[in-house]
Structure 1
Amino acid sequence: MRYRFRCEYLGSAFYGWQEQNCGGKLRFVTVQSTLEEALSTALRAPIRVVGSGRTDTGVHARGQCVHFDFDGELDPQKVVRSVNGLTKRLIRIRDLEPCASDFNARYDAVLRYYQYTIFTRPVALMRDFGWECGSLNLDIEAMGREAQSFLGEHDFIDFCIPRNDGKSTLCTLSEFRLERLNDWSCMFHIKGNRFLHRQVRAMVGTLFDVGRGRYPEGTVNQIFEKNFKGERTWAPPQGLVLENVEYRDY
């Protein structure tokens, strides 16, 4: 039987989502390997999990969706308690339930929602959950206007780590909104059907360059049109959170 659940995790505690093997041995502790170990212990059987997407080292999640197969009956509440007790408060799973045998957490997703937080003053309490930019006087309005250039379908080959596997780099973004939280922080709300490797961090880094006056508004379109030659900033991972993944029936 196939089961699915939601999970959140502290990205700074792991080397990203994807399990990394080296000669049959785990090379780094990842979210996937930690979940599989906890579920295998709780269910006393080898378990493999599939997530909705692969988050990078340092990237957090609040609404990652995961599925796995298990031959036998299980008590969802008991399994949730067991897994949450085994993951050292770094991962929390919830809403474990049976699902259709053909449900796929990765390929059935229709919308992914990310948030990215920027701090424009030095912070201590929240520095692991946002990009601390010091005391820069960012033009938040310009960043918000420039973000609209990402909406719609575009080829994001120049806003990602190249894949070189022949697969499409077309993505459709339905929302890229900048919310001012207070006078020293702001948050991007970014929704799309799919995202490429480090795409969000590349996009936010470009908007940061516009906001600090390094490049003018219109830079995003210049990059899309391959008319841009300057160096660009990559936003650090800790400001990024996979907030939610939507499905047609979930």
Structure 2
Amino acid sequence: MRYRFRCEYLGSAFYGWQEQNEAGKRKFVTVQSTLEDALSIALRAPVRVTGSGRTDTGVHARGQCVHFDYDGELDPVKTVRSVNGLTKRLIRIRDLQRCADDFNARYDATLRYYQYTIYTRPVALMREFGWECGSLHLDLDAMEREAKRFLGEHDFIDFCIPRNDGKSTLCTLYEFRLQRINEWTCMFHIKGNRFLHRQVRAMVGTLFDVGRGRYPEGTVDTIFAKKFKGERTWAPPQGLVLQNVEYKDY
């Protein structure tokens, strides 16, 4: 039988989402490997999990969706309590429930929602959850206008880690909105049908370059047109949070 749940985790505590093995041995502690270990102990059977997406090292999540198969009935309340007790407060799962046997956390997702936080003054308490730009002046109005150039369907091959596996790099973005939380904190809300490896960090880095005056407005279009030449900034991972993943029935 197949089950699914939501989970949140502190990305800085793990070497990304995906389990990584070398010569048959586990190489790093990842979110996937930690969840599998905890579920296997709680259910007393080997468990493999599939997430809606593979977050990078340092990227956090509040609404990651995960499914797994287990041959038998389980007590959702007891299982959630056990898993949360085994993950040392670095991962929390919730909303564990039975689902259709053909449900797939990755391929059935209809929308993914990310948030990216930027601090425009030096901070100490929240540095693990945002990009501290110190006292650097950013033109937030220019960044907001530039962000709208990402909306719609585009080929994001130049906004991700290079790949040549033959898979599509077309993505559709429905929202790329800048929220001014206070005088020194802003947050991007980014929603799309899918995202490529490090795509959000590449997009926010480009907006950062425009906001600090390194490149002019219209740079996003120039990159899409493959006419851009120059160095580009990658936004650091700690400012990024996978906020939610939507499905037709979950």
**TM-score class normalised by the smaller sequence:** over 0.9
Q: Specify the code of the residue in structure 1 equivalent to 2:104.
A: N
Q: Distance between the aligned counterparts of 2:164 and 2:62, measured in 1?
A: 30
Q: Distance between the aligned counterparts of 1:249 and 1:34, measured in 2?
A: 27
Q: Specify the code of the residue in structure 2 equivalent to 1:226.
A: K
- How far 1:139 moved relative to its partner? 0.4
Residue of structure 2 equivalent to 1:102: 102
- How far 1:133 moved relative to its partner? 0.4
Residue of structure 2 equivalent to 1:194: 194
Q: Specify the code of the residue in structure 2 equivalent to 1:235.
A: A
Q: Distance between the aligned counterparts of 1:199 and 1:128, measured in 2?
A: 20
Residue of structure 2 equivalent to 1:33: 33
- How far 1:24 moved relative to its partner? 1.0
- How far 1:195 moved relative to its partner? 0.2
Residue of structure 1 equivalent to 2:118: 118
Q: Specify the code of the residue in structure 2 equivalent to 1:19.
A: E
Residue of structure 2 equivalent to 1:241: 241
- How far 1:73 moved relative to its partner? 1.0
Deviant stretches of 4+, over 4 Å: none
Equivalences for 1:111-150 in 2 at 5 Å? 111-150=111-150
- How far 1:203 moved relative to its partner? 0.1
RMSD of aligned Cα (Å): 0.4
Give unmatched runs, 5+ long, in structure 1: none
Identity %: 86
Q: Specify the code of the residue in structure 1 equivalent to 2:116.
A: Y
Residue of structure 2 equivalent to 1:58: 58
Task: Tell me whether 1:90 sits opposite 2:90 in the alignment.
Answer: yes
Give unmatched runs, 5+ long, in structure 2: none
What does the per-residue CA deviation read over 1:109-160, in whole Å, with 9 as the maximum and x for residues that have no partner? 0100000000000101100000000001100010000000000000000000
Q: Distance between the aligned counterparts of 1:185 and 1:145, measured in 2?
A: 18
Q: Specify the code of the residue in structure 2 equivalent to 1:164.
A: N
Q: Specify the code of the residue in structure 2 equivalent to 1:21.
A: N
What does the per-residue CA deviation read over 1:187-243, in whole Å, with 9 as the maximum and x for residues that have no partner? 000000000000000000000000000001000000000111011000000000000
Equivalences for 1:209-224 in 2 at 5 Å? 209-224=209-224
- How far 1:47 moved relative to its partner? 0.1
TM-score using structure 1 length: 1.00
Q: Specify the code of the residue in structure 2 equivalent to 1:2.
A: R
Q: Distance between the aligned counterparts of 1:72 and 1:113, measured in 2?
A: 33
What is the number of residues matched between the two proteins? 250
